[in-house]
Amino acid sequence: MNFLLLSGSFHRRSYSQALLRFIAEQLPEHQHVSPDLLHLPFYSEDLAGEQRPQVVSDFLQQVSAADALIVCSPEYNHSIPAVLKNAIDWASRPAFKSPLKDKPVTFITQANSPVGGARAQAHLKLVFDSTLSRIHMCHEMMIAGVEQKFDEHLSLVDEPSQVRIKRHLADFIQFIG
């Protein structure tokens, strides 16, 4: 299976990136790619068609080639980061015929707060529902107190979180079919 791993943050000490590295290690028999969404221009209909930048075309090809998406994101201001929303906006066109239509997608959110990005997760579900993606209906995967789950090298060292992520991935693979 080919997974597209999307991160909602790209700073030097990004927990989303660290979680996606852990997730990639759990999928050794599968292919995966994790694009850098920072280089996508802001979505604009003016950049559609022949005006579309190559970086956008490359990203859309990655979305099309993926069998499923795993989205890992922090919560920014009770919602999802702009860089992630922008990528979803690019991939959601043309409406009702986009590369996201019928694409299985699952979410992992994290935050230092005790709710672990619950509002970001709710917004991700709302946004991906509008793209006609197949949302993985499951016990939500949120990681609260994320700063305490990693060591200084950004390795996930919290065993309960590791177990929960592995269970979440196994359930998602079964959901994909």
Q: Domain 2-176 sits in which CATH superfamily? A: Flavodoxin domain (3.40.50.360)
Within 13 Å, how many C-alpha atoms sit on residue 131's CB side? 27
Q: Which residues contact 158 (CB under 8 A, 6 or more apart)?
A: 148, 149, 150
Q: Report pLDDT digits (tens) over 139-162.
A: 899 999 999 999 999 999 999 999
**First-to-last CA distance in the chain?**
10
Q: Where are the domains of the chain?
A: 2-176
Confidence band for 32, pLDDT divided at 50, 70 and 90: very high
Tell me what percent of the residues of the chain surpass a pLDDT of 70.
Answer: 100
Q: Is a pLDDT exceeding 90 seen at residue 168?
A: yes
DSSP H or E segment with residue 160: helix 159-176
Supply 25's token pair: 């290690």
**Global pTM exceeds 0.85:** yes
Q: Report pLDDT digits (tens) over 82-107.
A: 999 999 999 999 999 999 999 999 99
Q: Is the N-terminal amide bond of 53 cis, ω within 30° of 0?
A: no
